[in-house]
Each structure stands twice: as structure tokens, then as C-alpha cells.
Amino acid sequence: MTYVPAENRYENMPYRRCGRSGIKLPAISLGLWHNFGGVDVFENYRKILHLAFNSGITHFDLANNYGPPYGSAEENFGHILQKDFKNYRDELIISSKAGYDMWPGPYGNWGSKKYLVASLDQSLTRMGLDYVDIFYHHRPDPETPLEETMSALDLIVRQGKALYVGISNYQAEEAEKAIAILKQLGTPCLIHQPKYSMFERWVEGGLLDVLEKDGVGCIPFSPLAQGMLSNKYLHGIPEDSRAAKTTGALQQNQLTTERLNQIQQLNDLAQQRGQTLAQMALAWLLKDPRVTSVLVGASKPEQLADSLKCLENIQFSNEELSRIENILSNY
């Protein structure tokens, strides 16, 4: 079948300016960290991507090692790009990253110029692209000079392989230094991608202030704390959940009695607001004007459709915010 996107796809999605750049991003962006790899079902994630674009999501976020196996999310996205989105490339913001383990040997990890340039070349080949819109350094490298890593990002833009660059998982002080180096090189930092949710709030300890001061966008990942901020764990730990697996980003010991009680209380408030817990958790991040967009994942189209409903109510009363703070401080 030939994919034809919805004509009204831009009508209901708010777009927010990314820092002080010329770029606007959709309030909700789609992350391909999970569910788009070689182990996943092609027609399922194809439907997710169709729904995303039909709903005004123009930003698709990838990384070299997304899968599993490594590289397969980019390959699969590349197939769908050629099959369905080829005529709409100029309506899309496509991002990728490098910084984590990708191939054997000393040049397949961290933050050297050798690794970053080679990794992006591989990513472009996998996706069938001439350039990505945003290329990130995925995490700080304690052993490579920050100047080398940032000069690699600058080089990549000058080569025409990326239009903009960003950083991810950088603490406030490191981020400030990286942003200053990039500014000096003439390739400003567009965006920072930190882990941020109601349950993980380290960015409030200075990073958001740095990004605001320097005119850099912010796009949180894991906004639902690996599913803890959803209805998945309201009645304990389901057998098919991430927390039930022995390996993975969410471990069972994170779901203590106190945490489950907190989830229940937050869910009660969400219901009073006419939202699911996941919708309230996304809205809570979007209430801050310093947050440009929030990255959501989806294992099926219905899950993405549910997340998008958060946009129907991102306003919070002072009383609601106080209640949330009280609930969160009891952990």
C-alpha cells in the first residue's frame, strides 16, 4: 500500500522553538530506542511511524546502537523512510547519536573524533541519508578532551553530514563547557537530551538554568521512568513488563512498596485531572517552557495515541503542583 499522510497533520500539534535557534520541534517527539529493532515486528513499528507523522510528530530520534541488534533501528527506519516518507524528508527532523559501545576495539565507543565521524558515516549508510538534522554526542567521555569531542561535532556540521549538533547525558557544569566550546567554534549547540521525569529530577539542579541562559533546547528522554509513570504497575508487577525481566533498564527492586504507593497516589491525581498517569507525567514536563519537546517511546500505535492525549491538558493549578511535590517528596 502507498502511504499518504493525513492532510490535517499539522493542526493539533504545538511546535516549540528550540532554544534561540530557527528550529521548532513538536511538543511530542518519537524515540526509537525500543521496539524498532531487528527483533521487532516491521508492520507494527511501521504503523507507529505512520500514526506519529499523521499526528504532527516531525521529529524521529535514533542512535547508532538502538535495536537490538545494534544498528537495526536505523536500518529499519531507513527502509520505512525510503518506502513511505521519501517525499516528506524535508518535513522531518531526524536525529542520531554516538557515544556508547558500538563495535569492537578502541575506536567503537566514547568520544574520540575517530569514533564520532565513523559512527555517523555508518548511521547515514544504514538510514540511506545524506545528512541527519541533529547529531548528538550521547554521553560525556572522561578520557577524551572535551575540545576534541566538540571539534568532531563542529567538523561533522562543516562536512554537511549534520545540520545541528547536540549533547546528551551531560551534567550542568560539563554541558556549560561543551556549549561554550561549540559557540567558540562557530557551531552552536542546538539541544540537550537528558533523562528527566517526575522520578528523576537532577536536571533541576542547574542544567535547565544553563540551557535557558545559553539558549539551548531541552528534550527529556525516559519521561515515564521506564514505564513506572504509567498504569502498568498500578496493581503490582505484570509478568510481561520490563521490571519482570532480569536484565533491562528497569529492575524489579526499583518498584518498592513506597514507590508503588507513590505511583497510586499520582494516578489518583491524574484521574481527577481527567488524564491517565502517563498523560499527566508528560504534561508535567511540558509545563516548563524550557522543555522544547518530550521524547516518548511506543510498543504499539495505541500507546502513542494515548501519549498524544497529554496535549489536551498541560496546565496545572498551584494546588495540583503542590500535591505532586508532596507525593514526590515522600519517597
**10-residue mean pLDDT series, the chain (331 residues):** 95 98 98 98 98 98 98 98 98 98 98 98 98 99 98 98 99 98 98 98 98 98 96 78 59 81 97 98 98 98 98 98 96 72
Please tell me the CATH superfamily of domain 15-227+280-315, with its number.
Answer: NADP-dependent oxidoreductase domain (3.20.20.100)
Cell numbers describing residue 28 = 511530542
Quick one: pLDDT at residue 248? 59
CA max distance for the chain: 54
Quick one: pLDDT at residue 247? 52
Quick one: pLDDT at residue 237? 73
Quick one: pLDDT at residue 261? 93
Quick one: pLDDT at residue 243? 61
Write out pLDDT tens, residues 298-325: 999 999 999 999 999 999 999 999 999 9
Q: Which long-range contacts (CB under 8 A, 24 or more apart) does 141-149 make?
A: 141/99, 141/110, 141/111, 141/112, 143/110, 144/110, 144/111, 144/112, 146/174, 146/177, 146/178, 146/181, 147/181, 148/111, 148/112, 148/113, 149/111, 149/112, 149/113, 149/116, 149/178
Give me the DSSP letters along 200-251. B-GGGGTHHHHHHHHT-EE--B-TTGGGTTSGGGTTS--TTSGGGSSSSSS-
